[in-house]
Amino acid sequence: MSCCDGVSGIYGGQWRGPVFVLTHRPPHAAADESVTFLSTPLPDAVRTALEAAGGSNVVIFGASLARQCLQARLLDEIVVHLAPVLLGDGVRLYDSTGTDPVMLTRTALAATGQLTDIRFRVQ
């Protein structure tokens, strides 16, 4: 889990739904019973999440995983949450040398306080 508060910290505690963690090294026992660890190929993991979502959205957290899904053409939409913080380090979501450009169409733009959310459809 990358969030400091585990499952309860996702979207400030507002998340309702199953949580899957794709990993090469699943723990022997999950610390949180609401988390399912998957050690399957990426397309299978996405399919599992889509089935569990039952027609609702599947949210991908983590720049590396999102980039892999984008490169595998498993994403149909990208939502970017902009906050007024500049990070000096981390994994770049859009750092993809040697790949074709990914064309996006903006479908929504919303601002709440200092936060800005931009929604794009992947073409």
Residue 4 pLDDT exceeds 70 = no
How far is Cα 40 from Cα 44, in angstroms, rounded to an integer?
6
pLDDT band at 17 (very low <50, low <70, confident <90, very high): confident
CB neighbours (10 Å) of residue 29?
Answer: 6
CA-closest candidate to residue 37, choices 56, 21, 48: 21
Residue-wise pLDDT for 59-100, tens only, equals 998 888 988 898 899 999 999 888 898 888 877 766 665 677
pLDDT score recorded for residue 46: 95
Residue-wise pLDDT for 47-58, tens only, equals 999 999 998 889
pLDDT higher at 98 or 13: 13
